[in-house]
């Protein structure tokens, strides 16, 4: 098993703060993932905006830095002006990007020049066991 550090809470309904400094991540609680998983960190989902994809509040989202597959239609971690949100990449182009949820929230339309897709949800762990401390293996 691989330890994946839990960087914080995630929301699809609002922007949130997140520190992705590797040194700070190493001090965070962690969850166990399959040893072959490429996740850099995990986020604990705190709303049901992605329930239509089988992602519920309380699930751990495994976040990878990149994807070899197209991101359209996949949940991604988006950064805008230092804050983050998890949404489904509906349309990503050089002018503007559209991000959606699977509930009644309106689409989020952002100018491409003001955002960065910083990660892709590459796995989900339902009801993860969260381990505390710096127990490293």
CATH number of the domain where residue 82 is located: 2.10.109.10
| 62 in any annotated domain | yes
In a domain, 136, yes or no: no
Q: What is the pLDDT of residue 136?
A: 47
Contacts of 117 (CB under 8 A, 6+ apart): 71, 76, 77, 78, 79, 89, 92
Is there a domain that residue 130 lies in?
A: no
pLDDT at 137: 45
Task: Read off the pTM.
Answer: 0.92
Please check whether residue 137 lies inside any domain of the structure: no
Q: What is the extent of the structural domain holding 64?
A: 2-125
Give me the number of domains the chain comprises: 1
The verdict on residue 132 lying in a domain is: no
Ranges of residues in the chain whose predicted pLDDT is under 70? 133-137
* Dist CA 118 CA 125 (whole Å): 20
pLDDT value of residue 134? 56
């Amino acid at each position: 098993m691989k330890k994946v550090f839990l960087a914080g809470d995630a929301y699809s309904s609002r922007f949130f703060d997140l520190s992705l400094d590797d040194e700070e991540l190493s001090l965070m609680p962690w969850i166990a993932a399959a040893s072959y998983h490429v996740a850099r960190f995990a986020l604990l989902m705190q709303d049901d905006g992605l329930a239509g994809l089988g992602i519920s509040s309380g699930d751990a989202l495994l976040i990878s830095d990149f994807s070899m597959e197209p991101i359209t239609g996949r949940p991604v971690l988006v950064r805008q002006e230092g804050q983050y949100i998890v949404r489904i990449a509906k349309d990503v182009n050089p002018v503007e990007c559209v991000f959606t949820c699977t509930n009644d929230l309106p689409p989020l339309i952002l100018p491409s020049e003001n955002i960065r897709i910083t990660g892709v949800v590459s796995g989900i762990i339902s009801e993860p066991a969260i381990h505390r401390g710096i127990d490293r293996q």
